[in-house]
Amino acid sequence: MSRNSIRNCLEDYQRARLCFVRTMFSFSEKPYTLQLLQEFDFLDLLLPLLADRVHSIQHTALVTLGRLAAAKPLLQEILDKGVLASVLHKFNQQSKLYKKTALHVLTDLMNKDERLLH
């Protein structure tokens, strides 16, 4: 394989991840899709993107999780899957935008589930 073939393949993979996370974000805006997302276990696919090396993918995944946490059934699933640990992983090494978004998401989670305050 040539260098260009490998680079093109990796670029395709990055575009696919970005497309996926943006699509999940748009689905998270529509209340009628939330149950379907949950049925397809999409969180298992979305959570690893919190640690993606591409900042725009990380940020969009984080914003999507914050939006999904507004739905009570999804909030519980998000908490059960250990999202808090994923969000806080290497927090100090993240960009200012990531930190700001993460704090917003964590605040929303705590406001929705009082058990997190204790």
pLDDT at position 117 over 60: no
Q: How many domains does the chain have?
A: 1
pLDDT digits 0-9 by tens, 73-98: 787 888 788 887 778 877 888 888 88
Q: What is the pTM of this model?
A: 0.82
The alpha carbon of residue 12 and the mean position of all alpha carbons in its chain are separated, in whole angstroms, by 20
d(CA 95, CA 37): 29
Residues 10-24, mean pLDDT to the nearest whole number = 95
- At 94 the pLDDT is 84
Residues 21-70: tens digit of each pLDDT? 999 999 988 888 988 988 998 889 999 998 898 989 999 999 998 888 87
How are the residues of the chain apportioned to helix, strand and coil, as percentages rounded to the nearest 5?
Answer: 80, 0, 20
pLDDT at 108: 76
Split at pLDDT 50, 70, 90, the class of 104 is confident
Q: Which domain holds residue 40?
A: 3-117
Element (H, E) at 6: helix 3-28
With contact defined as beta carbons under 8 Å apart, do 78 and 86 qualify? no
